[in-house]
Structure 1
Amino acid sequence: MSSGLPGNPADTVGGAATARALCVLAPNPSPMTLDGTNTWLLCEPGSDQVVVVDPGPQDEGHLRAVIDAAERQGRRIALTLLTHGHADHAAGAARFAELTGTQVRALDPAHRLGEEGLTGGQVIEVGGLELRVVATPGHTSDSLTFHLPADGAILTGDTVLGRGTTMVAHPDGVLGDYLDSLRRLRTLAGEHGVRTVLPGHGPVLADALGSVEYYLAHRAARLAQVETAVEAGCRTAEEVVARVYADVDRALWPAAELSVRAQLRYLEDHGLI
C-alpha cells in the first residue's frame, strides 16, 4: 500500500522468473491486486510434473491458460498449493482441480480439496522439485510462504508484494504474527541463501533481504505514526487513516483501515496506548 521497495524488480510481470518458476498473470488488476494475481508454475528441469501455486480467481480463461502453459512444455500439473485463502488467490482452485485432477493443499481445511493439508516445516517433493513450507501468518492467519531452495527463492503470496506493502487483514490478520513472519523471512534471506522474492502480486524482487528489511522498517515507522496520531487525539481507525495514510491513494484506505485496526490492537496489547 505504498511505493519504494528496494532492489531490482522486473520490468514486467509474467513469464519465466527462475530456472524452476514460471508466472502466468491473472486478468484481475485492481488497486489491491496490482497487475493481477501471479499464478506460479514450478517444475524441476527435466521433469514433466508441475506444481501450481495459487491458481487465482474464478476465471475460466486464466485457469486454462495456466494448464496451456504447462502443456506447451510437455508437462502435466501434478499438485496445486495455496499461499492463503483469499479469493484472488484461491477462488479458482476448485474448478482448477476439476480441470487438472489434482488435489489442492492449503493450511486452512476450508480451502483444501483432498485429505492432505499443509503445515510449516513440511517438505514437498514432486518430480524432483523440493519446496519447503514456511508458516508466515499475519496478513491472514493461514498465510504460508514456499521456499524453493534450488533457486534461492521464496513464494510469498501476499506476505511480501512485488510493489508497495501489504495489509494486515484484521481481525484474522495479526500484526505481531506478521512481524514475526517477516523476521522469519529475513533469516531465510540472510542465512539460508534466499535472494529472490516471487510474490503473489507485482514483479519479481531480486533483493529478498533488502525487501524484507524494508517491510520491517516500514511497519515500525507506521506503528510510530499511529501511536503519535492517537496521542494527538485521533480516536477512531478512520481518523488515524486520514492522518497517517494521507500519502496513500484513497482507493486503498479501506485496506489501510484494516491494518490500522491491527496496529491499534498491537499497541494496546503492548501497553503503548
Structure 2
Amino acid sequence: MSDAAALPGQPRGGVLSGPATTRTVNVLAPNASVMTLDGTNTWIVAEPDSGLAVVIDPGPLDEGHLRAVIETAERAGRRVALTLLTHGHADHAEGAARFAELTRTKVRALDAALRLGDEGLGAGDVITTGGLELRVVPTPGHTADSLSFHLPADGAVLTGDTVLGRGTSMVAHPDGRLGDYLDSLRRLRSLAVDDGVHTVLPGHGPVLEDAQGAIEFYLAHRAHRMAQVETAVESGHRSPSQVVAHVYADVDRSLWPAAELSVRAQLEYLTEHGLI
C-alpha cells in the first residue's frame, strides 16, 4: 500500500496520482480520513487525441482541489466538457455545483436533485463526449443512486464506492440495500468475465489491476459477514449494536458506526429471506 505522492508543479489543493490507464488520470482530493482512505479520487477521462475531458466525482467543496482538477486537464490540452457523479455522498458530490460553475459544464447523475441540466443518467446510457465511450452501469447498494462507468477502450470500470481500492465498502442502510449491492457486484463480475474489464478505478484507494479477483473477494467477504451476523443473532445478539460489537470486535471502533449501517442492511436481508 502506498499513498499518492505529489508531483512537481502540481497545483496546491490536489494530489496528482498520475495516469492510471491510457484514458484516465486521478487527482486525489485532500480529504483523507478513516472513511475516505487517502481521499476521494477525482477522475479525468478523455480520448488521447481529444481536446475535451469528462470529470467523474469532483469531490468535496474544496476550491484548491477543484481548480487543481481543471488545471490538470488544461495542462494536457483539454477542456472539461462534462461532469458525472457516481453517487451523491458529499465526499464525491459536494463540490459538483461549484465545479460546474468553474467549468461551465452540466452535471449528470442518477439522482435528479444532483443534476445541473436536464439530462440524467440511467442504464444503457453511453457518454460520447470528445469521442469517449463511457457506458453507464447501475450499481445500487452502497447507495440507491450508485452508478459505475465502464470504459471499454481501457478494459476498466470506474466504481465510485461500490468497490474500493483498499478494504471493503459499506452498505449505507436504509438508502443502500444488501440485495441490490450483491446484484451490483455480480453485474461488475460479469463485466470482468464477459466484457474484458481487468482494471478497477475506485472512488477511494489505489487502482486494482485484477478486477475479477477484487470483485470475487467482495462477494466472498459479504457471504462471510452474513454468516457471522446470522451466527451472532442465533447466539442472542439481537440489536445492530450488539451484532457489531460481536462481529466487528477486531475492527477499529471508529469504523463501527459505518459497520452498523451494513449490519442493519444484513439483518434486513436475512429477515426478508427467512434466514433469521
* TM bucket, shorter chain: over 0.9
SS in 2 for 1:164: coil
2:96 is matched with: 93
Q: Map Cα deviations across residues 201-249 of structure 1 (whole Å, 9 max, x no partner).
A: 0000000000000000000000000000000000100000001011211
1:4 is matched with: none
Give the Cα–Cα distance (whole angstroms) in 1 for the partners of residues 254 and 19 of structure 2.
Answer: 31
Give the Cα–Cα distance (whole angstroms) in 2 for the partners of residues 132 and 58 of structure 1.
Answer: 27
Which letter maps to 1:262? A
Give the Cα–Cα distance (whole angstroms) in 2 for the partners of residues 11 and 241 of structure 1.
Answer: 29
Structure with the larger RCO, 1 or 2 (CA within 8 Å, 6+ apart): 1
2:207 is matched with: 204
**Correspondence list, 1:40-55, <5 A:** 40-55=43-58
Q: Does 1:35 align with 2:38?
A: yes
Q: Does 1:224 align with 2:227?
A: yes
SS in 2 for 1:44: coil
Q: Map Cα deviations across residues 94-138 of structure 1 (whole Å, 9 max, x no partner).
A: 000000000000000010000000001111101111000000000
Q: Does 1:253 align with 2:243?
A: no
2:270 is matched with: 267
Q: Does 1:139 align with 2:146?
A: no
Which letter maps to 1:216? L
Which letter maps to 1:140? T
1:117 is matched with: 120
2:163 is matched with: 160
Give the Cα–Cα distance (whole angstroms) in 2 for the partners of residues 20 and 248 of structure 1.
Answer: 37
Give the Cα–Cα distance (whole angstroms) in 1 for the partners of residues 171 and 73 of structure 2.
Answer: 33
Give the Cα–Cα distance (whole angstroms) in 1 for the partners of residues 85 and 239 of structure 2.
Answer: 34
Q: Does 1:150 align with 2:153?
A: yes
Of residues 1, 12, 21, the one that matches 1:18 is 21
Q: Is the contact made by 2:3 and 2:38 (CA closer than 8 Å) also made in structure 1?
A: no
**Correspondence list, 1:55-74, <5 A:** 55-74=58-77
What is the percent sequence identity of the aligned residues? 75
SS in 2 for 1:22: strand
Give the Cα–Cα distance (whole angstroms) in 1 for the partners of residues 208 and 201 of structure 2.
Answer: 7
Alpha-carbon shift at residue 11 of structure 1 (Å)? 3.9
Give the Cα–Cα distance (whole angstroms) in 2 for the partners of residues 153 and 107 of structure 1.
Answer: 21
TM-score normalized by the length of structure 1: 0.96
Of residues 103, 106, 109, the one that matches 2:106 is 103
Give the Cα–Cα distance (whole angstroms) in 1 for the partners of residues 134 and 81 of structure 2.
Answer: 14
Give the Cα–Cα distance (whole angstroms) in 1 for the partners of residues 268 and 249 of structure 2.
Answer: 21
Q: Does 1:77 align with 2:59?
A: no
SS in 2 for 1:127: helix
SS in 1 for 2:21: coil
User: What RMSD in Å do the two structures reach over aligned CA positions?
Assistant: 0.7
Q: Is the contact made by 2:60 and 2:92 (CA closer than 8 Å) also made in structure 1?
A: yes
Give the Cα–Cα distance (whole angstroms) in 1 for the partners of residues 98 and 20 of structure 2.
Answer: 26
Gaps of 5+ in 1: 1-9
2:242 is matched with: 239
TM-score normalized by the length of structure 2: 0.95
